[in-house]
Amino acid sequence: MSVKPIREHTGKSLLARWLGEYSKGKHSYANPGVLVSPEVLNKTGGQTWDTILDENPWLKTTKLVAKPDQLIKRRGKAGLIAVNKTFEEAKDWVMERMCKEQKIETVTGQLTHFLIEPLIPHKQEEEFYICMLSHRYYDELLFYHEGGVDVGDVDSKAEKMHLPTGEAMTEAAVITKLLSKVPAGKQANLASFIVSLFAFYRDLHFAYLEINPLVMLEDNTVVPLDMAAKIDETANFLCAQKWGPIDWPPPFGRDAFPEEALIRDMDGKTGASLKLTILNDRGRVWTMVAGGGASVVYADTVADYGWGHELANYGEYSGAPSTEETFMYAKTLLSLMMKSKHPDGKFLIIGGGIANFTDVAATFTGLIKALEFYAADIKEHKIGIWIRRAGPNYVEGLRKVKVASDKLGLNIKVYGPETHITAVVPMALGLIAPLPEPDLSEACGPPVRKMVPNPGSKPSTQKPLPPATKHTIVTATPETTSIVYGMQNRAVQGMLDFDFMCKRKKPSVEAMIFPFSGNHYVKFYWGTEEILMPVYTTNAEAVKKHPKVTVFINFASFRSVYETSMEAMTHPSIKTVAIIAEGVPEQQTRELVQVAEERGVGMIGPATVGGIKPGCLRIGNTGGMLDNIVMSRLYRPGSVAYVSKSGGMSNELNNIVCRNSDGVFEGVAIGGDRYPGSRFLDHFLRYQDDAGAKMLLLLGEVGGMDEYDLIDAVKSGRITKPIVAWCVGTCASCFATEVQFGHAGAQARGDEETAAAKNKAMKDAGFHVPDSFDKLPEMVGQVYIQLVEEGVIVEQHEGETPQVPMDYTWAKKLGMVRKPANFISSIADDRGEELTYCGVTISDVFAKEMGIGGVLSLLWFRRQLPPTCTKFIEMILMVTADHGPAVSGAHNTIVTARAGKDLVSALCSGLLTIGPRFGGALDDAAKMFSQALDSGVSPKVGPRFGGALDDAAKMFTEALDSGVSPKDFIEKMKKTNQLIMGIGHRIKSLANPDQRVEIIKDYAKKHFKTTPVLDFALEVEQLTTRKRANLILNVDGCIAVSFVDMIRRAAPSRGRSVVSALCSGLLTIGPRFGGALDDAAKMFSQALDSGVSPKDFIENMKKTNQLIMGIGHRIKSLANPDQRVELIKDYAKKHFKTTPVLDFALEVEQLTTRKRANLILNVDGCIAVSFVDMIRSCGAFTREECDDLMSFGCLNGLFVLGRSIGFIGHYLDQLRLKQPLYRHPWDDITYIQELAGSGGS
């Protein structure tokens, strides 16, 4: 995201909406006009001329002005403004031009949007010119007392006023500095308007606002006639409500393609970065590049080799996109390539820098899917595909592509980091012979470079070093330590591995900060040993307990990084702050820069990967994974110090430097924003004053003026060391329209800010500037050899490459190790795209309407039982749901609840009373009766369901199986003094039967093929009731024997009772597992009821350091949704009268997923808010009753009830699999033996 231009109508509409508030009612702007779109060509469309008139009746009563509203400059000179027209005349004028091609200067495009507004009669002397624009340290106002199309060069003519960042504007200052040539009678009113306009400009995060002319009428009304404006899109999270919906139009001359909209929509739903701009849809050269900086470099190289006119697109896919996202991105590109043929074919260049953490093999799996989809078309269109990629698992990725290429006959050429990043471009274009493809049997190791012959053989050309000066950024040493804000475990582990590889004596990270949990410890590796890292909830506590820390590495999101960085800079011990987040609004960055410089704090970022000083410190993920650290020899210092705008390209610079010199001395990525916290000059001055840095390297880019500060320092003699430099973005000259490159600051605001102008200026100043980025490695090598020959650099023999153990998780992913699983489960699997029950996806469970009985049959028996059986299971659940408050289980539950315990505790209290004397004689009854009926068969009993139901089932089954008659069975039980489980009821009898028994008995007789155990039990009943009328087959016995008849061949279960196992599982339910339902329901419903907006709700939760319950998932995202959530959400939307709480939660999700893709509404949250909507909208409860139900914990009760089915399923599964006693492996436990406070962890 970046500063983007808006339509004139958008800017005027915002001014009309807010001017009154910012001027406290003194000024107003009533009519911003009406925007006419191509919909008017369709009489049945959304916007017609009739609807325009209905909504804007003033169009019929006033003279009008009409003009295109498509970011077109100098419309008046192009004859594109119609003045003093009636409505019909304006309408005809617009319709004559709507969707027609128009050439304006050198650009041809379609006119699609027009602004019609009232004509404001005025005199020439009432016109003024005003412009507001932002700079690093101040906002600038330009004012001229004349306005209109012939105002001329306002930069040289206008009065100027510089307002330092954060300083208030006064009317007196405006009059003094800007309005000296304005008639005195108009000055006060005009100054008041300008002050109000500036407040509007600053508060709504404009970066540029020009009004020409600005008219001040005789009655002192001020009206903007023509406006051009740009807004900082990154401030959306601050200004979305004030902005309202904004249409971000493409530049005139570049059509908006539906494929661009598709990728933009995907980008909004993922944490990855997906960008696509179509430059020439008939072009021959297409690129698919990973990384913002790399995407510009590839486009530059195509243009620098003379193929800019054939460059078809610009874009990137980066930030670890998923396999599916990569597939869709590649498929979209290939579909665009197929729209037209070229007799000489086309080229698809797939490239990228060396990735930090993106799994190249995973993304290439998506690419291969797209290649398979279009294989025939690729060959038909003669598309040559060239790939250069590096980063985690790149060898496996390239190997997979090569196998697919051979299989599909595509002849794809693949290269890794042994090849320069852009070397595939001239190879693809046929300008040089293809290099041999690399051996993909193993990853590329460190380069073996021969030492330069004849060192010190030439006289030195180095100038004397000037005196050193003080620097805000403190150069790291082997003793420098840091605090990391945010739970960035991977980054911290990477820093510690780097430290260990560099042979630091202690870790460079002393502590972490995470405000959303209490103080605790996190485990990390120091080599092969584990250490504990303290985690604090506040900056103040962390800094107080670690006073020697000087570096603050801030991984906070763009929403909160401003506040956390400001707070960090209040602590005198913090000397350097690194801000990793992208998307920080420019105004906030400028304020951070101001405070940092006032307090002498060095700042790196925003939008940076960090920096690296071999042997001393690695900030965050700089340098990528360990294999890249080794490959680029970043574990020991070299002689070349670099600064790059791009974080992704810093890995490439490490690679270039390592292969063409003795390595990196220090490298910093200052970030791609327009106003980075530290500039090129800040770091190059440090390098100049550091004896270890012998040679300097700069990678700048289009946009900004920071390179010129460096040029001045070289010209003045302050910097004397040789600098190799290149600014990316040279391809901009090939584009007819303005293009926003990958970084927010990569856009020229004038000729001086173009990459070509900067490269020329640096070359003229004595920098070593190659002809293109593709020649940069060669230039680095030439300068390095010269310094060695002059004796400035003294080469050292390469020592032994250090080794750091590979993490088990990554080694397993690479297929290098294997480990036996500690657990086996055959009933459920949540690893894939969708949860499955015994192989059946959760969506199929609902599609096939399996119900509770079907789910239970899958989880307990690993079978899809027929509907008659699943219905019988549901009948059992219904008839055993409760038996009044007097029984022991209910009694215990009631007593526990009245003691103030939670739902789960009360439930377990009741469950633990289930046994032979309460809960039914099911197992024993089933065993008895079936054994008595069947003869000569070894006992086979049904699954043990808990309490005496298992005993009843066992008893009747064994009786049936033994072949004994009902009479002999009773006699045998009598002689052995055993009760017949499942026989007897306190009050029911044959004359007064238990209706539950009748229902179950009738169902079994009607639906089961045979009921021998039930029949046997009923014969026993006939005998026992002769003794006493209430010795009937009771509900437990009836369930037991009927269930045995239903699944007669089920295997026996042994081990601890299911009740004990179930309670053990239930007692784990709490806020961290399953127990979020009640809290989520309470949070979202209270927020909705209070009237707070979703944005303010999130802000309030953040300020109070509270997690939003029901938000967040380990792996799921908007692009990869949890099907359980989708099912519940769809059902609620379809069947509930209203869903305001669900809608509110989904609005929250839209905001949280902008921070991280997996911060979605999870299944707990979706159940919670949907349940609230259900009970509120069903009409059965008052609002007070609804609130009571929520406070009682009924939602957690639903979770407990549902999850109990799964817990019992796992219990049965472990017995079925005959799993032994579990003992946790000792190597998975960190043992701490030091006494607390003795200096250990």
Active site residues: 743
Phi first, then psi: give them for residue 1161, nearest 5 degrees. Answer: -70, 115
Question: Scanning the structure block, which residue is given the tokens 């949990």?
Answer: 517
Decide: 295 and 739 in contact? Cβ < 8 Å: no
Q: Residue 136 burial (CB < 10 Å; 0-12/13-18/19+)?
A: middle
Cα-based torsion angle of the residue sequence 266, 267, 272, 277 in order, rounded to the nearest 10 degrees: 110
Is cis: bond before 606, omega within 30 of 0?
yes
Three-state secondary-structure class, residue 447: coil
How big is the chain, counted in residues? 1241
Strand runs labelled E in 135-232: 138-144, 159-164, 206-216, 222-224, 227-232
Cα separation of 542 and 56, whole Å? 60
User: b vs e for 1084-1098, b when ≥16 Cβ sit within 10 Å of the residue's Cβ?
Assistant: bbebbeeeeebbebb
Cα(953)–Cα(981) distance, integer angstroms: 8
CA pair distance 655, 667, nearest whole angstrom: 12
Element housing 611 (H / E): strand 610-613
Helix/strand/coil for 621: coil
Eight-class DSSP state of 642: E
Coil, helix or strand for 4? strand
DSSP run (H or E) holding 355: none
Kindly compute the dihedral angle of the four CA atoms of residues 347, 368, 265, 389, in this order, to the nearest 10 degrees.
Answer: -60
770 DSSP assignment: -
**What amino acid occupies position 430?**
G
Per DSSP (E only), the strands in 234-308 are: 273-278, 285-290
Using a 10 angstrom Cβ sphere, with 0-12 exposed, 13-18 middle and 19 or more buried, the burial of residue 454 is exposed
Is the bond preceding 993 in cis, omega lying within 30 degrees of 0?
no
Is residue 879 within 8 Å of residue 1026, measured between CB atoms? no
Give dist(CA 227, CA 130) in Å, integer: 10
User: Where on the phi/psi map is residue 735: left (φ > 0), alpha (ψ -120 to 50), or beta?
Assistant: beta
Pairing type for strands 610-613 and 617-618 reads antiparallel
Residue whose entry in the numeric block shows the structure tokens 């990391």: 484
- Give residues with Cβ within 8 angstroms of 437, minimum separation 6: 402, 413, 414, 415
SS (H, E, C) 454-494: CCCCCCCCCCCCCCCCCCCCCCCCCCCCEEEECCCHHHHHH
**What does the block give as tokens for 601?**
């704090």
Sheet arrangement for strand 64-68: 34-36, 114-118, 64-68, 82-85
- Alpha carbon separation from 76 to 114, 130, 1012, 1045 (Å, rounded): 14, 18, 97, 91
Interior CA angle at 1064 toward 1058 and 1070, to 5°? Answer: 135
In DSSP notation, 918-953 reads BS--HHHHHHHHHHHHS-S---------STHHHHHH
